[in-house]
Structure 1
């Protein structure tokens, strides 16, 4: 008995000593990153970020003064204006020290990783970025971890914002309530009522506050943000990606060849034929879309957008009931990074550990993260009396976004770690109390009209060869779909007569192989 107890005690002592050593190492490792950021020992880094009209002064924002004062890192920011500049950077291998969100296609990142141009972060995270390391290890973040890997390894860090009103809803659907009231109409609930309201907008152009150049119904054709996808959803056809993908009982589907999509396409065709949809929906870029939907006074009758930027004129509406009788849905997003690759260190960087330590500095302190992500404290955001963070303004106030553009942070052009804990414990969401903004609309209008989560497609990274083939076929399918759908909506083709040929052409272009690869990518992160 005594021997047995001695053995038990011995084992417990060994276990406790091992635990102590592990904890000591862990604590030392968790502090090591701090020693690399010293304002008294400044370093300079070249960085690149992709341009966005929502934050036009990312390279000269006041946040960089804050970063330099706190960390000693001075960033020289290059703003890449378009995809050609991104492609050229990878083709020439003329990389900066670090890149934020540059919108690089996954194929370019795969090639850069294999060529040794990107620093692998797997062994560095536990020591220089423990907050990120622990986030990826958490069971609830398994999907977020997997979808942001490259060939099974971590080369980049993502932008994380897991607010329910963000992740569980893509676009909102807005209609000009000022015009509706002027004309003595009601908020539409069906596709027929919606068309009648659009007709009234068009027929009363130049009267009251409706301008002569009114755009009754406006969107960016086939764009995932601000596109016509929720018209499909209102007819019960759910596309969960810009590639028209959806998942049914674990099987990946291509909704562009779903016969049920013909009805919403015909509905769009009829609206276009009456002049209720302008031709420029096929040609406008995102900056033009923002200008038109943000115009003051308004020029648009109804549109899709992430946020309502004119609360005095527009109200959100749920998906409409269609003649098909199918349950209408709004698109939802998934709890994955968006974007997945918002921070990457290139091998030419002379300070890779310090650069990663900077990524840890951002997310390990609430004020740091809010400053770099949202903007300058006291102007864009602040602390409440109980220590939570609260927004002063954001995209629902385009006038303030423009006025304080030099004080804005990088938002999803950079990393952040606004996970579930952030939203439940650290963030005071004032927008839940403001009727008309996204958080309020989510709770009161959209929560019961969302497509089931199991419909959502997500995919991991395949091999270089598989990715190249998938992208090649995908480009051909996208071009065919865009040309065909644009032709049908603009009334230059017959949807029913040309449908079988359209499906057959998709098959000839390699649709089956493309779906096979998409299925493999889906299984990679979900099984």
Structure 2
């Protein structure tokens, strides 16, 4: 491998040429392995494991001579430094590409992305871009920094065309106002999976038995259970060290109020929803105030870990993995592997998913994605790219089965292997093609070496369903199947709201919406925590809170959303 230049070291100041970035499995570190299909093995799913090159295309892929591509990539937490990551190494070896990296941490990547795009020194390829539809309008349609991908996709992107044939609506959703496609979005394993519902609560059933309680189904019952966890010594060590409910902030769906507020009315972090084509507000509703009063009561009574509103994912995981004694009764997070080590069978087996709680008015629902749309982009090519035909074929690898598995599941022979076809995947119908040899949820892994999480994850086929489910569902190798089954239990409680269409703002409306929504979201998140923790008094300060929303143009933001939806 050629020695590459490091244009931006981790942690350097933003003033240097800067850019952007963005559950997985893990395994042990091994030698670099070329990821072409094994001899005698068919390339899966028409995959670009073999090439990704369309018949008759002029470009040779992989190229015969090494090609250098200046790429902006993200150093994902939980992934070993990218140049030591075997996916990155295998990709360079397979594609015969030397990536000249601009590598930055995930935190603050959006600001760095915007600064980079405003400079005269942007890369040829951007991965984990987090471009919104409006970003694509700005940098593609208006400023022409991003190049149209339509012809490149038609000529070279075999796997992506297959994905779009499976979901024709996605191709239209990917188009900007001029009819061009300026980037490729992310779709986790074909769409349906445990990501369809992030607002989950996990409860220790051994503690329920210890305090003589049943699985709670209402907000009153849940409060009663948490009080018993606090006072009933469920871990049996004779100490008052129990944490009834914990969570984290700045990570996926771990804020403890997300699950709880949905017992009082529809709540999500977008701060609005759509019903019968009409945008509905959340932040100024009476049911939100009632829900905050309930969660505040839990906090005042010492039933919610105060650290849950400030601690990181890693700190929450340390609580779940507390050495020796189990100290947490419930945890709010998108999947239980964020909270504890799933390879600790004794502890992992104690926690079960809770169904949405019924609130005082009888409302019982949870935000749940029933229809999958795409928007924005995680991969884009800029106008300075010297080999766009190579760049698009690299992207196309990650729209196919082989490299989706390689990026997310790890190395064959270490993390997974081929199955004999006698068992099914997690849907109970599809014949399994692969089997796990080892599985670690990201929170349990020390720096993943053999997978790279969301470093480059595009429109994937449903590769997770091709891993066999064998034996106990609680075996760590069946982790994705367990999460899928748990999420399917939540599906009957899907809130009766409409899918928000991908938004295509016109003129300056996109910038206006971005400004309004950022201000409103930042304010609302802080206000919710302050109401819960008592920094603000819910009764005395509620009117002031509503006035602040008005000052921040919350209703104007909703009107702009309605106008945009009506125009589509």
Give the TM-score band, short-chain normalised. 0.7 to 0.9
SS in structure 2 of the partner of residue 332 of structure 1 = coil
The answer to whether the 8 Å contact 1:256/1:481 transfers is: yes
Query: Within 2, Cα distance between the matches of 1:299 and 1:102?
Result: 39
1:388 aligns with 2:433: yes
SS in structure 2 of the partner of residue 518 of structure 1 = helix
Residue 220 to residue 450, structure 1, CA distance change in 2 (3 Å): same
The answer to whether the 8 Å contact 1:49/1:99 transfers is: yes
Pairing 1:44-83 to 2, within 5 Å after superposition = 44-81=68-105, 82-83=107-108
Query: Within 2, Cα distance between the matches of 1:260 and 1:432?
Result: 44
The answer to whether the 8 Å contact 1:33/1:128 transfers is: yes
1:506 aligns with 2:535: no
Match of 1:171 among 199, 214, 217: 199
Query: Within 2, Cα distance between the matches of 1:93 and 1:77?
Result: 17
Aligned match of 1:135: 163
Which has the higher mean CA deviation after the structures are superposed, 178-187 or 201-210?
201-210
> Offset of 1:117 from its aligned partner?
1.8
Residue 158 to residue 372, structure 1, CA distance change in 2 (3 Å): same
In structure 2, runs of 5+ residues without a counterpart are 1-51, 343-347, 422-431
Query: Within 2, Cα distance between the matches of 1:107 and 1:155?
Result: 11
SS in structure 2 of the partner of residue 472 of structure 1 = helix
1:201 aligns with 2:229: yes
Pairing 1:22-101 to 2, within 5 Å after superposition = 30-32=54-56, 35-38=59-62, 40-81=64-105, 82-83=107-108, 84-101=111-128
Which string of whole-angstrom CA distances, capped at 9 and with x for unpartnered residues, describes residues 355-405 of structure 1? Answer: 1022223334x3233113432222333322237234445454754x337x1
The answer to whether the 8 Å contact 1:195/1:271 transfers is: yes
What is the count of residue pairs matched by the alignment?
Answer: 484
> Offset of 1:430 from its aligned partner?
2.1
> Offset of 1:107 from its aligned partner?
5.1
SS in structure 2 of the partner of residue 476 of structure 1 = helix
Query: Within 1, Cα distance between the matches of 2:305 and 2:449?
Result: 35
Residue 117 to residue 290, structure 1, CA distance change in 2 (3 Å): farther
Larger Rg: 1
Match of 1:316 among 343, 353, 356: 353
Which has the higher mean CA deviation after the structures are superposed, 306-315 or 383-392?
383-392
Query: Within 1, Cα distance between the matches of 2:329 and 2:194?
Result: 24
Aligned match of 1:6: none
Match of 2:185 among 130, 135, 158: 158
> Offset of 1:343 from its aligned partner?
1.1
TM-score (norm 2): 0.76
Residue 155 to residue 291, structure 1, CA distance change in 2 (3 Å): farther
Pairing 1:449-488 to 2, within 5 Å after superposition = 449-452=493-496, 454-463=497-506, 465-488=508-531
SS in structure 2 of the partner of residue 302 of structure 1 = strand
Which string of whole-angstrom CA distances, capped at 9 and with x for unpartnered residues, describes residues 84-132 of structure 1? Answer: 4334323334322212114456555543323222121122210021432
The answer to whether the 8 Å contact 1:252/1:457 transfers is: no
The answer to whether the 8 Å contact 1:214/1:301 transfers is: yes
SS in structure 1 of the partner of residue 117 of structure 2 = helix
SS in structure 2 of the partner of residue 329 of structure 1 = coil
> Offset of 1:48 from its aligned partner?
2.3
The answer to whether the 8 Å contact 1:146/1:460 transfers is: no
Pairing 1:2-41 to 2, within 5 Å after superposition = 30-32=54-56, 35-38=59-62, 40-41=64-65
Query: Within 2, Cα distance between the matches of 1:126 and 1:210?
Result: 67
Residue 118 to residue 52, structure 1, CA distance change in 2 (3 Å): same
Query: Within 1, Cα distance between the matches of 2:470 and 2:362?
Result: 34
TM-score (norm 1): 0.81
Which string of whole-angstrom CA distances, capped at 9 and with x for unpartnered residues, describes residues 461-484 of structure 1? Answer: 323611111111122322332333
> Offset of 1:207 from its aligned partner?
5.4
> Offset of 1:80 from its aligned partner?
1.8
1:231 aligns with 2:267: no
**Relative to total residues, which structure has the larger helix share, 1 or 2?**
1
Query: Within 2, Cα distance between the matches of 1:360 and 1:135?
Result: 10
Pairing 1:220-299 to 2, within 5 Å after superposition = 220=248, 225-227=253-255, 228-235=257-264, 237-239=265-267, 241-293=268-320, 295-296=322-323, 298-299=326-327
Aligned match of 2:25: none
Aligned match of 2:483: 438
Residue 266 to residue 57, structure 1, CA distance change in 2 (3 Å): same
Query: Within 1, Cα distance between the matches of 2:224 and 2:486?
Result: 24
Match of 1:360 among 396, 407, 415: 396
Query: Within 2, Cα distance between the matches of 1:165 and 1:516?
Result: 33
Query: Within 2, Cα distance between the matches of 1:181 and 1:173?
Result: 18
The answer to whether the 8 Å contact 1:169/1:442 transfers is: yes
The answer to whether the 8 Å contact 1:432/1:439 transfers is: no
